[in-house]
Amino acid sequence: MKRKAYITILKSSISLLLLLPLLSSCSKDNVINTKYLETYLGPDQFQTDATLPTLSFDLYADGRVNGGNKPAVLSFANPIKLSTSSPTDINVKLKFADKSLVDEYNVKNNTKYSILPEGACKLQQESFVIKSGKLIADTDSIRLNLADAGVLTSEATEYLLPIILDGLESKDAGAKINTNAMFIKVIPKVYLASLSGLNMENNVINMVYTTTSEGDIFVPPSDRTIQLKLNPKAGTSTAVEVVSGGEAAVNSYNAANNKSYTLLPASTYSITSGGTAVFEAGQSTIDLSVKLLNNKQLDVKKQYLLPLTLKQGNIAFSDKKANTVMIVISAKVTNIDLSSKTPVAGTVVNRSNPAWSIVEASRPYNSTYAAANVLDNRNTTSWFAAGVNSFITLDMAQSNTVKGFVLMPSYAFGATYNATGIDVFTSNDNVTWTSQGTYTGDRVLSSSSATSPDNRNINFYTPVSCRYVKFVMSTLPNSYGGFSEINAIK
C-alpha cells in the first residue's frame, strides 16, 4: 500500500527572531524534528503559557520596529515538513485562522489573548513548494510583514496569531493536510504620547489679550503651557509633533458645545520649537509654550479657538483619550494704558469752576471718610469704604475731553488698604456708561505717604469726552480702600 505523506508545521526549537533584513533560509541540517503542530493544542502540551513562541518588539506609529526600516519583517524559522517524502512536488499554502481558534486556546490555557487585528500583519509568502524526494521546502522560514501598525493601538497588550495550512496541490493522492494551528504570541511595546494643558478651566485654556476697541493696541497675555508625555519613557530620541486641528476641529467643537468660535490664524501664534518635542532617552515629559504674537487678523468682537492635537504619523502613537487641547482666545477691550506709570502730559482740569460734585458713592467706613473728601484739596483726608466693588461717581459739571485721571491713594490707615484693580466708566448723561477698561497695578508703596503719595495714574490711549466718571475698586487685597484726591487731565 502506498504510504500517505502528511504535511505539518513543526514547532522549531530555534528561538523566534525579530530581524530588520530578510532572514536567509535556515539550514536543513539544523531542523529538529520534535513535536508536531498537532500536539500544540493537546491536553499534555503548554502546561504553562511560557512555552508559547513569542515575538516582542518596540513598535512605532510609522510602522517601524526597534527603530529599523519599514516595512518591518518579522521572521522565524519554522519549516513546513512532510512526515515522509513524496515522489512528486507538493505546493503548500498558509493562511491566518479566525478568532475561534484564539478563543479555544484561551479556554484551554486560561489565558486572555486577543487575536492579532486584521491587517496588522501579512504573510510575505503564502505558498511553499516541497520538492519531490524532500521533507521540507527550499524556502522554509515563515515571514510576517508588518502591514498596518495603527491597528495595534487598542488596549490589548498581548495578541495571539493562529496560522494554519490552507491547502495543497500535488499529484500524490496520499498527501494530506494537518489541520491543527500554529500559534504565535505577539507583544508590541507601544510608545503612547499624550497631550494636556496646564491651568485649564472647563477643559479649555483661556488666553485674553488686551486691545482697544479699534484693535490698534496689542498687549499679549502670558504664554500658556501645554504638556506632552510619553509612556513608557523614550528608549531612543523620539520626536512628537503638535499641530493645529484646523477648521474641521473647530467646527466639531462648536457643534458639540454650542459655540461659535473662529479658527485662530496661524500667523498670530507660535509654539516652542515649532510644536516639536524631542524626547531623549529616559525622558517622559516635555512642556511647550504657546505664545500669542499679534492681533493683526483678529476681530475684537470675536472669540477664537486654537485646537492643538498630536500629529498623525508621529513615531509615538497618540493617546485617543488625551490627544487634543483647546485654547480659547478673546479680547479684553480697554482704553487704559497700563504700560505708562507716570501722569499723561496735559492740563489738570479745574475742579472748582465749574464745581465738581459727588453723584453717588458706596457707604464710607464712617462719617469721617465721606466721599466729598476726594474734592477737598487735602491729602490727609479721604473717602474710605469696605468691600470689593465699592465705587464712587463724580460729576465734572461739564463735558471735558479727558486724557486720563490721577487717583491719590487713601492713607487713612496707612498704605496697605488700597485697591490694585480699578474699573473705569465714563458717561455724558449719568445713564449710558462706557467701560474704559480696568486699571491694574502693584500695591501702594509702603514707603509712600500723604505728603509723598504713590498715585494711581490712569492714562487713556484715546482721549474720552465725558462729564461723569465712575471708579469701582474691583480688586482689594485687604478688603478696604479709597482715595484721598481725584483729578482729571485734559
Residue intervals in the chain for CATH 2.60.40.1740: 35-188
Sort strands 54-59 and 182-190 into parallel, antiparallel or unpaired: parallel
Is 162:101 a contact under the CB 8 Å cutoff? yes
Is 398:351 a contact under the CB 8 Å cutoff? no
Q: What is the pTM of this model?
A: 0.67
Contacts of 447 (CB under 8 A, 6+ apart): 415
Is 57:76 a contact under the CB 8 Å cutoff? no
Query: Cell 458706596 belongs to which residue?
Result: 362
So what's the pLDDT on residue 177?
55
Backbone angles phi, psi at 400, to 5 degrees: -130, 145
So what's the pLDDT on residue 74?
63
Contacts of 428 (CB under 8 A, 6+ apart): 399, 465, 466, 467, 468
So what's the pLDDT on residue 240?
94
Residue intervals in the chain for CATH 2.60.120.260: 355-487
Q: Please, which residues bridge with residue 271 across strands?
A: 290
The grid coordinates listed for 332 are 479684553
Residue intervals in the chain for CATH 2.60.40.1510: 190-332
CATH placement of domain 190-332: 2.60.40.1510
What is the block-wise mean pLDDT of the chain (490 residues), using blocks of 10 residues? 46 33 32 28 43 75 64 61 75 86 89 89 83 73 72 74 76 58 81 90 91 88 95 86 97 97 97 96 96 94 97 81 94 90 95 97 97 97 96 98 98 95 98 95 95 96 97 96 98
So what's the pLDDT on residue 486?
98
The string of DSSP letters for 34-92 reads --BGGGTTSTTS-SSGGGS-EEEEEE-TTS-BTT--SS-EEEE---EEESS--SS-EEE
The third-level CATH classification (topology) of the domain covering 35-188 is Immunoglobulin-like (2.60.40)
So what's the pLDDT on residue 141?
64
Q: How big is the chain by its Cα radius of gyration, in Å?
A: 39
The third-level CATH classification (topology) of the domain covering 355-487 is Jelly Rolls (2.60.120)
CA–CA distance, 11 with 163 (Å, rounded to integer): 12
Q: Angle at CA 238, nearest 5°, toward 234 and 244?
A: 120
Report pLDDT digits (tens) over 103-123. Answer: 988 998 888 999 988 888 888
So what's the pLDDT on residue 75?
65
So what's the pLDDT on residue 294?
94
Sort strands 121-123 and 73-76 into parallel, antiparallel or unpaired: unpaired
So what's the pLDDT on residue 109?
85
Report pLDDT digits (tens) over 192-214. Answer: 899 999 888 888 999 999 998 88
